[in-house]
Structure 1
Amino acid sequence: MRAILDVILIVLQLYVWVLIAAAVLSWLVAFNVVNPHNQFVRTIGEVIYRMTEPVLAPIRRILPSLGGLDLSPMVLILIIFFIERVIGLYIYPYVF
């Protein structure tokens, strides 16, 4: 059982890094640092979008509109940190 919890914690940490990569890539595209018409950048962006959008879309519907500021990745990262804390403090110590 501990191995399953360890895998869950690792997957959650990897997903946080994917969310950070999505935010950084969106900033780089917005400020014209990278060319979104480049095939490599487009492929990376599409992969990251497909990994994050199913989870971020419901959060975006709940959050109020703040103009051009998207806080849904930050909210999701806080939710993931909360889940990790619950697993680490309340579930993991009691698994034999």
Structure 2
Amino acid sequence: MTSIFQILMLLLNIALWIVLIHAIMSWLINFQVLNLRQPLVAQIWYGLNRLLEPVYDRVRRFLPSTPGLDLAPLVIILLIYALRIILVNNAAMFI
């Protein structure tokens, strides 16, 4: 049962890194450090968008409209940390 706990923690860590990479890439693209005309950057960007936009859309339904500022990645990161806290506090259930 400990392995289930470890797998869940690993999945949450991977999800956290994916959201962080997407947020950082969006900043770098907006500040024109990265260029979407480069094939590798474009593939990574569009792949992350296809992966995360369905999740972000669900979160954006509940958030107030803030023009120029997307709070969905921040909410997702907070949810991931909340899930990690819940798992760690209930780790005894997995033993």
Which runs of 5 or more residues in structure 2 are unaligned?
A: none
- Alpha-carbon shift at residue 14 of structure 1 (Å): 1.0
Residue in structure 2 matched with residue 64 of structure 1 by the alignment? 64
- Alpha-carbon shift at residue 51 of structure 1 (Å): 2.0
Residue in structure 2 matched with residue 6 of structure 1 by the alignment? 6
2:56, 2:73 within 8 Å by CA — same for their partners in 1?
Answer: yes
Instruction: Choose 48-57 or 72-81, whichever is displaced more.
Output: 48-57
Secondary structure at 2:32 match in 1: coil
Distance 1:78 1:67 in 2: 21
- Alpha-carbon shift at residue 46 of structure 1 (Å): 1.2
Amino acid of the residue matched to residue 58 of structure 2?
P
- Alpha-carbon shift at residue 57 of structure 1 (Å): 1.1
Dislocated runs of 4+, deviation >3 Å: none
Secondary structure at 1:62 match in 2: coil
- Alpha-carbon shift at residue 94 of structure 1 (Å): 2.6
Distance 1:95 1:11 in 2: 16
> TM-score scaled to structure 1, two decimals?
0.92
Distance 1:78 1:12 in 2: 12
Distance 1:32 1:70 in 2: 18
Q: How many residues align?
A: 95
Residue in structure 1 matched with residue 94 of structure 2 by the alignment? 95
Q: RMSD value over aligned CA atoms?
A: 1.0
- Alpha-carbon shift at residue 2 of structure 1 (Å): 1.4
Which runs of 5 or more residues in structure 1 are unaligned?
A: none
Residue in structure 2 matched with residue 21 of structure 1 by the alignment? 21
- Alpha-carbon shift at residue 67 of structure 1 (Å): 0.7
